[in-house]
Amino acid sequence: MLVVALAMSAVGCYGEASLEVPSIGGVPNYDDENPPPLPVDPTGALSCQLASVPQTVSLATIAADFGRQVYPAMVRQDSGCISCHATTSGRQFKVSQEPTETFYAARAAGFLTTQPGSLVSRLVSTDESVRMPRNQPSWSAKEIAAMASLTCQLAAVEARSPQTPPDEEFPPALLQPYTGPAVVTYDNPFLSYVQLKGKVKQVFNDDWVRGGVDKFAQTVGLFGGVDYVQYFVEARVASPDFLLGMDALAPDVCLQAARNKTGPFAGLDTSAPIIDTPPAATRQYEAETATDLTATTGALTSTGWNLYTNGQLTTTTPYNFPVTGTYNLTVRAYGSQCGPDLPAMEIRVDGTVVKSFAVSATAYADHVHTMTVPAGTHTVSAAFTNDFNMSGTCDRNLYVDWVKVNGPTEPSTGTTRTDAAKAKVDTLFRRMVYRPSTPQEKTDGYALVKDLANYEADLPKAWSGLCEGIMRSPDFLFTLPPSYESRTGGEKDRLLLVKLAQDLVGRPPNATELADFDAGRKSWEQMVDGYLASVDFRTYYFHKMRVRTESEGTADTDEPARLWTYLATTGTPFQDLLTGDYSVSTDFAKVSRPSEHGKTGVLTMKGFLQNKPGLPHYNYAARVMTDFMGSIFEIPSEVFDMRGAATAASTVDPTSLCFSCHQTLTPLSHQRLRWADDGTYRTTDEQGRPIDDSDRGLVGAYAFKGQGMSAFAQKAVLKESFARRTLNAQYILFFGREMRHTQDERVMYKRLWDVAQADNGNLKAVLKTIALSPEYTHR
């Protein structure tokens, strides 16, 4: 146990005639470099003369003195507290950037009392496992005396004016405006596994079951979901695996919808041509112009090109056929006959023969071939294929004047097809991300479909490609479409409604909800009320609480989540989370439970007790304090080394390292003793002896004194930390994180605190307050 740093011997400390510990009284001289020895007894308790503290001393003056006399020592790098108790640490007590806030936090945490375990007792302890600052030089006598004096002054003020215990009131420091650095974060969570399933179902009317196989269930790990078989912890952020899952999901659901004209493609003809037929155009390539036609053989003549051996003339630059259609390919040519046959000429497209002609030897003539050419760039050639000569008699040659392309020959459609296709692009955006496309998105989306159709002549598949791109866009994958920032008016409100629905019911709004909201038939508040009253909300909230309570998917392990859900859907005080004397059935009805549970809420539910052993390892007590009181425990390496051989007796021994650090966990572990690790109730221990499940008076400053878990629960629900932890469970639904209650969101915290106080712990009222808040609605 704690002992004083300054030896309390009779000689030299407190006089030769007495072993009594003197008291601190009045207000000391903070400038005294050699103050009298501290009146701390061997247990670490501080002795104070409360009556001698002047009436002028108040909480405000103590907080001010704390900031001047103690806080500088806390935040210095050497021998300070900041290295272990920074705001980013997992410690119960954190040293913030503001001295007054730090004072009130230490007071609320019980570290400014005269009891053992206080800051004073830790500053003077000679036990290195307990002494503060750990593994650093001790504070000076002057600094410790100031800490002790402020502790006694605080005890006097609290004794004169009994008030709500500091750990049960709203933190006074948080009533002041936040003056710290601006918090710059992108508060927009990725879709969770359940929200993604809900969005695919809502947008595509597709549950992604193929051949009787649930593909979502197969890829639950990729999307960071839980299935209570292999995966029990929901991912908090998107991972690269999420995008791998999208690579499987998007092509499948998009192509099926595009081919079947369902989901976002309902009523859209995905096979209709998307490229307009332009007016017919003509391009004539002159044989004598090298930039027009390139020859593989022959020579220039006065009227064209002489192919005097087998070869061809090819368009130097491929011709861009603007649309798949009918074109006239014309070659003006004549031949010089030799032998029995006329010169043979082929018209070729991209090197493939499309028409052969026998060319007359009389004069130039047009040789026309009409054919369908697919859209895109293609080369056109005129080839001579039957060269022949008789020495000294004749020579068969082919003469080409020009090659001409004309078309398309179909009637022009103007911009009808392009406009219709771009309208489909806009429709997909409206149905998939709940907003119109921008002009650039419309242009780019149309270009993508054209490019994909050119790559593979399958228009539904090309439209599916655009759908896949939209599914991978931030507006689809974030709960609040990022384009919200650039929208105004009704479009902006609609995108916020998308987030609200996903946050409360795990899916986007349906067509009826959107229509009612867009038309003004329902206000934002009415939409919130509707969602909170829906079965979809109960289902989604239950899922989130199953994750929070680490359910294993069984009826027993679901019981805590059912209680959470009952409270949120009925408006029953959230204090019943720990003090309810009932259970909730699988159909979410309130049911009685055996009397031995008393008013203990989830604390004695079998599904909560299981997998949380009691002594000697403190798992249960630590989880209770973490889950419901917001405490985080850091276990040093030396504790890990000793846990394997630990016994219940060794961990509760007042001289042990465990006890010195866990003065909350030890009495709480005793209060739980009537409940075995498997969740069954017992009245005797393993040796048949009656169980003492009181806190046993082990820790004077223990805030939850009494018999059994009911005593703990009755006091725990009064604590500010319990209220904050419970409010945060609601806040996370909307923001994907806990409140920055000590920083820029302290106003939000006070608002939720007030609502909870005024509405008797009604979680539905808390949820509604968040949904209507300017922080959530960006107003």
pLDDT at 10: 28
Q: Is the pLDDT of residue 1 over 50?
A: no
**CA atoms within 13 A of residue 700's CA, in its CB half-sphere:** 12
How do 24-25 and 48-49 pair as beta strands? parallel
Banded pLDDT at 8 (limits 50, 70, 90): very low
Banded pLDDT at 649 (limits 50, 70, 90): low
- pLDDT tens figures, 19-51: 456 788 777 788 888 888 889 888 888 999 999
Following DSSP, what letter does each residue of 125-185 receive, concatenated? Answer: ---TTT-SSTTSPPPPHHHHHHHHHHHHHHHHHHHHS--S-GGGS--GGGGSPP-S-----
DSSP state of 376: E
Residue 519 resides in a domain = yes
**Helix, strand, coil shares of the chain as percentages rounded to 5?**
40, 15, 45
pLDDT at 115: 85
Q: What is the mean pLDDT of the chain?
A: 90
Cα-based angle 64, 68, 71 (whole degrees, multiple of 5): 100
- pLDDT tens figures, 72-128: 999 998 888 887 787 666 566 778 888 988 898 888 888 898 888 789 988 998 877
**What mean pLDDT do residues 586-591 have?**
97
Query: Which tokens is 152 given?
Result: 């006694």
- pLDDT tens figures, 150-209: 999 999 998 988 778 888 999 998 998 998 888 888 888 899 999 999 999 999 999 999
**What mean pLDDT do residues 337-347 have?**
94
Q: Which residue's entry shows tokens 């018209």?
A: 347
Residue 17 resides in a domain = no
Q: Is the pLDDT of residue 387 over 80?
A: yes
pLDDT at 238: 81
Residue 339 resides in a domain = yes
More confident residue, 643 or 166: 166
Beta bridge partners of 764: none
CB 215 within 8 A of CB 208: yes
Query: What percentage of the chain reaches a pLDDT higher than 70?
Result: 93
Q: Is the pLDDT of residue 656 over 70?
A: no
What is the CA 206 to chain-centroid distance, rounded?
Answer: 24
CB 704 within 8 A of CB 680: no
DSSP state of 690: B
pLDDT at 661: 58
- Whether 218 and 330 map to the same domain: the answer is no
pLDDT at 652: 56
Q: How many CB atoms lie within 10 A of CB 366?
A: 12
Query: Which tokens is 497 given?
Result: 């409604």
Beta bridge partners of 326: 372
pLDDT at 89: 64
Q: How many CB atoms lie within 10 A of CB 476?
A: 20
User: What angle, rounded to 10 degrees, do the helices at 763-772 and 555-570 form?
Assistant: 70
Banded pLDDT at 132 (limits 50, 70, 90): confident
pLDDT at 5: 33
DSSP state of 378: E
Banded pLDDT at 6 (limits 50, 70, 90): very low
Q: Which of 390-394, 681-685, 717-721 has the lowest mean pLDDT?
A: 390-394
pLDDT at 482: 94
Q: Which of 342-356, 385-399, 504-518, 646-660 has the lowest mean pLDDT?
A: 646-660
Task: State which H helix or E strand residue 568 sits in.
Answer: helix 555-570
Banded pLDDT at 651 (limits 50, 70, 90): low
Query: Which tokens is 174 given?
Result: 């948080």
pLDDT at 653: 59
What is the four-CA torsion angle of 750, 753, 759, 764, rounded to 10 degrees? 100
More confident residue, 732 or 657: 732
- Whether 103 and 231 map to the same domain: the answer is no
pLDDT at 375: 87
CB 351 within 8 A of CB 382: no
Helical residues (DSSP H) of 717-777, grouped into ranges = 720-735, 746-758, 763-772, 774-777
More confident residue, 30 or 283: 283
Query: Which tokens is 642 given?
Result: 């000793």
Query: Of the residues 121, 152, 175, which one is the last residue of a structural domain?
Result: 175
Q: State how far the alpha carbon of 697 is from the alpha carbons of 110, 172, 544, 652, 740, in Å.
A: 17, 30, 38, 12, 36
- Whether 55 and 186 map to the same domain: the answer is no
Query: Which tokens is 151 given?
Result: 């502790």
CB 417 within 8 A of CB 273: yes
Q: Which residue's entry shows tokens 């206000």?
A: 523
Q: State how far the alpha carbon of 660 is from the alpha carbons of 112, 129, 695, in Å.
A: 17, 8, 16
**What mean pLDDT do residues 475-504 have?**
95
- Whether 545 and 524 map to the same domain: the answer is no
Residue 368 resides in a domain = yes
pLDDT at 447: 97
pLDDT at 9: 30
Q: Is the pLDDT of residue 643 over 90?
A: no
Banded pLDDT at 744 (limits 50, 70, 90): very high
- pLDDT tens figures, 604-632: 999 999 989 988 878 999 999 999 998 87
Q: Which of 119-128, 335-344, 547-556 has the lowest mean pLDDT?
A: 119-128
- Whether 163 and 230 map to the same domain: the answer is no
Banded pLDDT at 392 (limits 50, 70, 90): confident
Query: Which tokens is 56 given?
Result: 């002028």
Q: Cα(721)–Cα(723) distance, rounded to whole angstroms?
A: 5
Q: Is the pLDDT of residue 706 over 90?
A: yes
Phi, psi of 353, rounded to the nearest 5 degrees: -70, 125
Number of domains forming the structure of the chain = 5
How do 48-49 and 209-210 pair as beta strands? unpaired
- pLDDT tens figures, 224-273: 999 999 998 898 788 889 999 999 999 999 999 999 999 999 999 999 99
Candidate ranges 135-149, 362-376, 675-689, 752-766; pick with highest mean pLDDT = 752-766
Q: Cα(36)–Cα(6) distance, rounded to whole angstroms?
A: 10
CB 527 within 8 A of CB 559: no
CATH code, 403: 2.60.120.260
**What mean pLDDT do residues 743-771 have?**
97
Following DSSP, what letter does each residue of 407-425 receive, concatenated? Answer: E--SPP-TTHHHHHHHHHH
Q: Which of 203-207, 253-257, 443-447, 695-699 has the lowest mean pLDDT?
A: 695-699
Q: Which of 311-320, 585-594, 656-665, 676-685 has the lowest mean pLDDT?
A: 656-665
What is the CA 403 to chain-centroid distance, rounded?
Answer: 63
- Whether 386 and 369 map to the same domain: the answer is yes
- Whether 167 and 264 map to the same domain: the answer is no
Terminal alpha carbon distance of the chain: 54
- Whether 240 and 352 map to the same domain: the answer is no
Query: Of the residues 175, 199, 220, which one is the last residue of a structural domain?
Result: 175
Banded pLDDT at 642 (limits 50, 70, 90): low
What is the CA 220 to chain-centroid distance, rounded?
Answer: 16
Query: Which tokens is 337 given?
Result: 């006959």
The reported pTM is 0.82
Following DSSP, what letter does each residue of 5-59 receive, concatenated? Answer: SS---TTTTS-SS------EES---TT-SSPPPP-B-TTSPBPEEGGGS-TT--H
- Whether 524 and 600 map to the same domain: the answer is no
Banded pLDDT at 577 (limits 50, 70, 90): very high
Banded pLDDT at 638 (limits 50, 70, 90): low
More confident residue, 184 or 427: 427
Banded pLDDT at 7 (limits 50, 70, 90): very low
- Whether 702 and 747 map to the same domain: the answer is no
pLDDT at 25: 79
Residue 389 resides in a domain = yes
Query: Of the residues 510, 533, 556, which one is the last residue of a structural domain?
Result: 533
Burial of 634 (0-12, 13-18, 19+ CB in 10 A): exposed
Banded pLDDT at 369 (limits 50, 70, 90): very high
- Whether 428 and 490 map to the same domain: the answer is yes
Q: Cα(765)–Cα(760) distance, rounded to whole angstroms?
A: 10
**What mean pLDDT do residues 371-388 have?**
95
Give the list of residues 6+ apart from residue 288 with CB closer than 8 angstroms, or none: 300, 301, 304, 305
Q: Cα(537)–Cα(315) distance, rounded to whole angstroms?
A: 67
Range of the domain at 661: 538-720
Residue 154 resides in a domain = yes
- Whether 294 and 400 map to the same domain: the answer is yes
- Least Cα distance to 504 among 756, 745, 761, 770 occurs for 770
Residue 73 resides in a domain = yes
Q: Cα(727)–Cα(744) distance, rounded to whole angstroms?
A: 17
Give the list of residues 6+ apart from residue 17 with CB closer than 8 angstroms, or none: none
Residue 8 resides in a domain = no
